[in-house]
Structure 1
């Protein structure tokens, strides 16, 4: 892996560009999307855009529009191709300029391998209904964690009181669940859609046993600032979720394990790999190894690393850096989206922000 290799999907420009997602189409096209606009939750012009790379081509297609809710920000798009080769686009629409008011939207396509954007067949809103058990699991988990960090312990009583009030409010439980990383299809066929809440500052997953027709919320994945989960399944059926750390120090990637197909989750634990409050993604490779792409610093998004694990996440070895700077003053490289193509090549797209305020999405490919 050569640090700094790869290509921009479009030239760096002045608008905000962030949170890409990549899939490989059955015909070999790479399809990527991201959000674009004047900001994030507070900018009404934010929309979802995309581009594709044809097999054998060195240049990405012109950018096209994938989704736009008029006068509201569309953010955090996620692409997914299911076992029946249907394309899914999950994303959020932000109401009242607050992440905790986000609505989870989805659209699907069976006609997406032509030039330009997919032709969408269907669109809906995913409404989750975590019940009172959500509140009990969350509060029991926070009580068991008993955080020792001064950042948390000084405010823990107030924090727990606030969480208790919100967790018992059905309206707050049912809104603000946001996408970021690829869904996982379990060996049993269940769809696992990873979600997180900036209101509760935790994660959960949406589960579907009917190929996405209906969705049910799992128990919360309880930790201190564990968001944007990336799930991967072990050979024994367990699911491990790797998460960004939005909590207090030490700033580390957090993990949790589910032993019942994603319905309940253990309290989070810290890895040794640092995390500066930035999204990560983990996938299982065809070889059986796991690949983790992340910012492995505690103080910024200026270094984007790839790690390999040959024991299903127990230990990790640094493979190399996709992009690397000395500090964020030189550039930011973050929010990776990762896939392994049918031919075994690994593809990563990520937000690339230059030191002069311009932004784009970068694509890098390498072999295991």
Structure 2
């Protein structure tokens, strides 16, 4: 099955969202682009350096998160180019909201696309779907369900696959469970790692103990052979850390780091110089003056909206906190395997208002869901949600890093 034709972004993109990288006059070595926006809302970018050198960005876009017109989109930045390609739609199920995409260049040469698919705002109905390309993303197989929802809840992905020296594949997932008789609110979500020792033909699940309320697990192998997992916290308190010393078979109970988290996504990456780079919002519930009553705004798709726990109890089934500011957008560095993150630089600041997901009326100002990649020349790339309208891309050349990030 071929990918859909490119969208007509000029009809919907905000001014300046043309995919062109332009130098930031205030910061030499930093280039900025807003990818063309194929829909009113664009969110949850993931960057991948492809084998041929292209930088690919996938995200989801549509009317609003949870609506059935939400689809997966993809754009590419060719080596040496200063402009992103027009977005191409990679999924189109008219009955489900298709979210949280990621690309995985499999060792055998295939390119995998994984994403979630849920009914309305109910993440406990989510399943993980897979499409495979044998020609680098020009054409794709029909979608199939890789991990179905179960009686215990839905299953979500967000972070990339890790391939170990043994050939083992590790895919972090999180289970979205609802309290019987109540809509999903995130309080009971738990994390696990799917393990495959046969190139993705079969998978088995390895749970992370004590991970209730901890999601978006991001796993990388460190130089000493251990695996480090970092988590988003539904409690909007802190980034949490878990480790494995047996290639992902067992995991330590996650512990909080001295890095705040606002119940929004994070991503980290081992850099070529041996340090770890984390992109995140340096904020938490402690920075919030209000919290959301509903996880989803009322929109006309015939669905029932899930309710977040409110301050007076209400729909609360635990202590998930929604509405902490999703700003600033921060780059932090660790030189001790992720235990401490003393070097911090804000990439963009703002009030991070996210008490609504509404993109059409400009009432959302979040800088969120960052993704980070490094190319062989040392250039860092960061992509993130900008006010739920566009995906913003920063290209940080070594000259910028040498000046802004102490070694």
TM range (shorter): 0.7 to 0.9
Matched, 1:125 2:145: yes
Aligned to 1:181, the other structure's residue is in SS state coil
1:107 deviates by: 1.3
Aligned positions of 1:1-368 closer than 5 A: 2=27, 6-10=32-36, 15-41=40-66, 43-95=67-119, 97-112=121-136, 118-121=138-141, 123-127=143-147, 171-173=150-152, 175-199=153-177, 200-247=188-235, 251-298=237-284, 299=287, 300-328=325-353, 331-353=365-387, 359-366=389-396, 367=398, 368=401
User: Residue 216 of structure 2 contacts residue 232 of structure 2 at CA under 8 Å; is this kept in 1?
Assistant: yes
1:86 deviates by: 2.2
1:111 deviates by: 0.9
Greater helix share, 1 or 2? 1
Distance in 1 separating the partners of 2:256 and 2:106: 31
Q: TM-score, normalised by structure 1?
A: 0.79
Count residues in correspondence. 314
1:106 deviates by: 1.0
User: Residue 109 of structure 1 contacts residue 122 of structure 1 at CA under 8 Å; is this kept in 2?
Assistant: no
1:122 deviates by: 6.0
Distance in 2 separating the partners of 1:45 and 1:127: 22
User: Residue 68 of structure 2 contacts residue 120 of structure 2 at CA under 8 Å; is this kept in 1?
Assistant: no
Gaps of 5+ in 1: 130-170
Paired residue for 2:294? none
Deviations 1:268-303 (A, max 9, x none): 100011011110011111222111111011131121
User: Residue 127 of structure 2 contacts residue 148 of structure 2 at CA under 8 Å; is this kept in 1?
Assistant: no
Distance in 2 separating the partners of 1:330 and 1:119: 35
Hey, which bits of structure 1, 4+ residues long, moved more than 4 A?
Answer: 1-5
User: Residue 349 of structure 1 contacts residue 364 of structure 1 at CA under 8 Å; is this kept in 2?
Assistant: yes
Aligned to 1:92, the other structure's residue is in SS state strand
**Aligned-pair Cα RMSD in Å:** 2.3
Q: TM-score, normalised by structure 2?
A: 0.72
Paired residue for 2:311? none
User: Residue 191 of structure 2 contacts residue 212 of structure 2 at CA under 8 Å; is this kept in 1?
Assistant: no
User: Residue 271 of structure 2 contacts residue 277 of structure 2 at CA under 8 Å; is this kept in 1?
Assistant: yes
Distance in 2 separating the partners of 1:214 and 1:224: 26
Distance in 2 separating the partners of 1:232 and 1:49: 26
Distance in 1 separating the partners of 2:277 and 2:340: 11
User: Residue 307 of structure 1 contacts residue 317 of structure 1 at CA under 8 Å; is this kept in 2?
Assistant: yes
1:207 deviates by: 0.8
Deviations 1:139-179 (A, max 9, x none): xxxxxxxxxxxxxxxxxxxxxxxxxxxxxxxx334x51101
Gaps of 5+ in 2: 1-23, 178-187, 288-324, 354-362, 402-407
